[in-house]
Chain A
Amino acid sequence: AQKITQTQPGMFVQEKEAVTLDCTYDTSDPSYGLFWYKQPSSGEMIFLIYQGSYDQQNATEGRYSLNFQKARKSANLVISASQLGDSAMYFCAMREGHTGGFKTIFGAGTRLFVKA
């Protein structure tokens, strides 16, 4: 069965430093997509970055990059030059092909605290 694991319940980072949030996944489907979302204290879910299972390059989006290691089934989010506004919950999610639809599941999340 498909599964997403985020092993870091909470992380601290100093402002302006880089931080890596871990995500491992498990699926038997060769076609899948990986997403990262940010959820600030206000509660809205904000899409950050996407990586497809067949993509050759690691995805990047501004200060966000995805360290995709397919053989290890990991898709870690790297945030460079952390800002105070990066303090939030971060969720890793996986969409996989499925007969009749495309199920998307989420990890338990990592709460990031950025220190001034």
Chain B
Amino acid sequence: DVKVTQSSRYLVKRTGEKVFLECVQDMDHENMFWYRQDPGLGLRLIYFSYDVKMKEKGDIPEGYSVSREKKERFSLILESASTNQTSMYLCASNPAGADSNQPQHFGDGTRLSIL
């Protein structure tokens, strides 16, 4: 069965800390995504990657960076955590292809609280 694994289900950090959220997929997918989910706002795209070492900004990249050193792993980094980054973070992946009808596969999410 396909699997997207996020390293932590719950995480509590302090303001100003550098925070790493890890995501690993075992499906050999080219595309990987990071979203944050907030009530009333749905899922907002932070960054996505379509290949190793490639990344593109989503709609809300400010305050975040990403790393994709290996195909299966996509890391989200909060450079200096702030309270407004308290949220649920979802990682997703899917295969590449201009006419791909393949849906995204999601991890279970990381609920991050910044105190």
Can you report 16 residue pairs joining A to B where beta carbons are below 8 Å apart?
A6-B42, A37-B103, A43-B109, A50-B101, A52-B99, A91-B42, A93-B104, A98-B56, A103-B48, A104-B33, A104-B48, A104-B92, A104-B94, A106-B35, A107-B42, A108-B41
State in angstroms the CA–CA spacing of A52 and B97 once bound together: 13
State the Cβ distance, A105 to closest chain B Cβ, in Å.
6
Give residues in B with beta carbon < 8 Å to A.
31, 33, 35, 40-45, 48-51, 54, 56, 58-59, 88, 90, 92, 94, 96-101, 103-104, 106, 108-109
A107-B42, A108-B40 are known contacts. Are A100 and B50 too (CB-CB below 8 A)?
Answer: yes
Please tell me the number of chain A residues within 8 Å of chain B, measured between CB atoms. Answer: 27
B56 touches A101 (CB 8 A): yes
Assembly CA distance A98 to B57 (angstroms):
12
Q: Are A101 and B48 in contact (CB under 8 A)?
A: yes
Known contacts A43-B109, A44-B106, A45-B106; decide if A102 and B42 are in contact (CB<8 Å): no
